[in-house]
Amino acid sequence: MTALDQLFAKVRAENRAALIAYIPAGFPSQAGCHRVIEAFIAGGVDAIEIGYPYSDPVMDGPTIQAAAVTSLANGTGAAEVLAALKFASASVPAVVMTYWNPIERFGVAEFAKAIATNGGSGVITPDLTIEESAGWIKATKESSINPIYVVAPSTKHERLMQVTSKCGGFIYAASLMGVTGARASVSSSAAELVARVRKTSYLPVAVGLGVSTREQAKGVAAFADGVIVGSAFIKALQDAPSEEAGLLAVTELARELAKGVREGR
């Protein structure tokens, strides 16, 4: 059982959802990323998702794309991603979100082992299909980490059954068809998707894409096991006049979102 598995058992016993925060490794700087992680934890985040910056992020909107550009310019690679993961996992359950190419370049079995060695609970792979997952599933089992896949409102029932049967830790439910980004409201299709996923798996379901406020977090926490927030935190950092101000904004936003996930039920 990973730390992530233990977290979802804990929040389920507390009858609430988990708050999962996303930050790309190396953003806003190598040292700054670690300070953001500290701000997340100070604000009450339950788990952290470390992004592996990639040059062709098909799932990411302009906010996270801009952060990835900054991260890559800061020299972020596998070593920096793993260092951020290790730093985060010393305090809370942590996972890496990465496109498949960096895993393949690193070495499939080696990457899974490196995640485990650095305290990580699992990996989210948004562009890896089930049909191409045999080697990855084998590697995650050997390293005892969670393979986390993404499902969307367009995913058909038969496909949901196939994907969710391969997941571990939680199932990532994309709240809408599109890319990441903070929005004025969370798509109504999110609740419907979570209900459909629950018919195929007993695993926790975490919803991402669009959550940016306490009220939105509260709304999603009413039907999901986890609330994933990324773009809103990054935007708070990007809009701040200084890194210090950005860190304060991140902590305050995390506190508000943490209240929201506890108010959902």
* CA dihedral sign, ordered 224, 147, 250, 59: negative
CA 82 to chain centre: 15
Is 49 in the active site?
A: yes
Is 60 in the active site?
A: yes
Residues 181, 210 contacting (CB under 8 angstroms) = yes
Q: What is the DSSP letter of 173?
A: E
Among candidate residues 5, 46, 60, 225, the one labeled active-site is 60
Residues 123, 115 contacting (CB under 8 angstroms) = yes
User: What is the C-alpha to C-alpha distance for residues 184 and 23, in angstroms, rounded to an integer?
Assistant: 21
Residues 26, 80 contacting (CB under 8 angstroms) = yes
Instruction: Give the C-alpha distances (Å, rounded to integers) separating 215 from 31, 115, 176, 247.
Output: 31, 34, 18, 22
Among candidate residues 46, 49, 80, 225, the one labeled active-site is 49
Buried b (16+ CB within 10 A) or exposed e, 149-172: bbbbbebeeeebebbbebbbbbbb
Residues β-bridged to residue 215: none
Count of C-beta atoms within a 10 Å radius of residue 62? 11
Instruction: Supply φ then ψ for residue 205, to 5 degrees.
Output: -120, 125
Task: Give me the active site residues, please.
Answer: 49, 60
